[in-house]
């Protein structure tokens, strides 16, 4: 399973980065291959200063070895070896009318003393963070998420949509990071869903990514915008940074387990502002966005 999933994310990285370069039209992904001293490594692909994408990364990694102490605590085990691989992506378009998107699909194995697999699971999801909200974009994104889910289980969409709203919650701001999508974790074999079924589900979701995002960014990338709208985007990107550095388990986990810092923090936006006590105007598009972020809604 681990080889099969790693092969899958290798191909998916190529497919996604090719399509994104085509949409951008100017910038190309820069590739960094890195090794992890304790075992494994990754292939980081970053795009910067494009016509469409101001910054973005589409990274894969496959790491293995002895469980770091922090992971032992996290999983409540005393010792053991592990394997983990996944694809992570974040795209920050330049145009404030085009939303930021994040996705991650991952697979994990824990081994016993004789090297046998004692636990294994999939996790992942994708979510959208608009700065100016076009309802039709939110609906489209969620419809694609739902369609991928529905092929596997009629309850997946509502369950994983709710988990996404719960997870990407900036508690100290009392608002969501964005308008959500899917979030699932610890997807383990059951009578109803074997590991192969989970593989089919996770790859279905991964394969749906371009369909969920490309039509949106294509529609919004050339819209006019003012300096004030650009400022709003940079202020909202500050909230994105706050979520990733204060709350996001994946980021903190990476920072505290000696992960490759530049690959982890490629998720941070290129230009960001913090303005003291910024309040959008009453009745404005900015205020409406905030209202929806504070009250996550059903889009499908």
Given 15, 273, 290, 300, the residue binding a second copy (CB under 8 A): 273
265 binds a second copy, rule: CB under 8 A: yes
242 binds a second copy, rule: CB under 8 A: yes
Q: How far apart are CA 146 and CA 159, in angstroms?
A: 11
* Tokens read off for 278: 């910024």
**Whose Cβ is closer to a second copy: residue 135's or residue 166's?**
166
In DSSP terms, 149 is beta-bridged to none
Q: How far apart are CA 131 and CA 235, in angstroms?
A: 9
Given 14, 15, 32, 290, the residue binding a second copy (CB under 8 A): 32
98-118 burial, b for 16+ CB within 10 Å, e for fewer? bbbbbbbbbbbbbbeeeeeee
Given 28, 246, 284, 294, the residue binding a second copy (CB under 8 A): 246
The residue from 92, 102, 140, 142 that is catalytic is: 102
Q: How far apart are CA 57 and CA 266, in angstroms?
A: 6
Q: How far apart are CA 106 and CA 84, in angstroms?
A: 7
55 binds a second copy, rule: CB under 8 A: yes
Active site (annotated) includes residue 102: yes
Q: How far apart are CA 9 and CA 14, in angstroms?
A: 9
CB of 68 to a second copy, least distance (A): 14
Backbone angles phi, psi at 279, to 5 degrees: -125, 125
What x/- string results for residues 140 through 179 when contact with a second copy is judged by CB under 8 A?
-------------------------------xxx------
Residue ranges in contact with a second copy by CB under 8 A: 30, 32, 46, 48, 55, 57, 171-173, 234, 238, 241-242, 245-246, 252, 255-256, 261-262, 265-266, 268-277
- So which residues are the catalytic ones? 102
């Amino acid at each position: 399973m681990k080889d099969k999933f790693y092969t899958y994310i290798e191909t998916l990285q190529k497919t996604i980065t090719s399509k994104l370069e085509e949409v951008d039209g100017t910038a190309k992904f820069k590739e960094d291959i890195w090794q992890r001293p304790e075992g494994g490594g990754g292939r980081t692909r970053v795009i910067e200063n494009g016509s469409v994408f101001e910054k973005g990364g589409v990274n894969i990694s496959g790491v293995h070895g002895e469980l770091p102490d922090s992971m032992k605590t996290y999983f409540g085990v005393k010792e053991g070896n592990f394997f983990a691989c996944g694809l992570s992506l974040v795209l920050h378009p330049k145009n404030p009318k085009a939303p930021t998107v994040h996705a991650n699909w991952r697979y994990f194995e824990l081994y016993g003393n004789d090297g046998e697999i004692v636990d294994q699971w999939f996790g992942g999801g994708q979510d959208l963070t608009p700065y100016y909200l076009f309802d039709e974009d939110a609906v489209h994104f969620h419809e694609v998420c739902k369609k991928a889910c529905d092929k596997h289980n009629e309850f997946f969409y509502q369950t994983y949509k709710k988990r996404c709203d719960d997870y990407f919650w900036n508690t100290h701001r009392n608002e969501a990071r964005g308008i959500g999508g899917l979030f699932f974790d610890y997807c383990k074999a059951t009578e109803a869903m074997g590991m192969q079924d989970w593989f089919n589900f996770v790859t279905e979701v991964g394969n749906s990514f371009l369909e969920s995002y490309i039509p949106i960014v294509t529609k919004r990338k050339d819209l006019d915008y003012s300096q004030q709208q650009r400022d709003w985007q940079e202020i909202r990107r500050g909230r994105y940074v706050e979520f990733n550095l204060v709350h996001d388990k994946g980021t903190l986990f990476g920072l505290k387990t000696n992960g490759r810092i530049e690959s982890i923090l490629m998720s941070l936006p290129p230009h960001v502002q913090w303005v003291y006590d910024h309040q959008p105007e009453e009745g404005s598009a900015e205020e409406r966005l905030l209202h929806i972020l504070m009250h996550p809604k059903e889009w499908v």
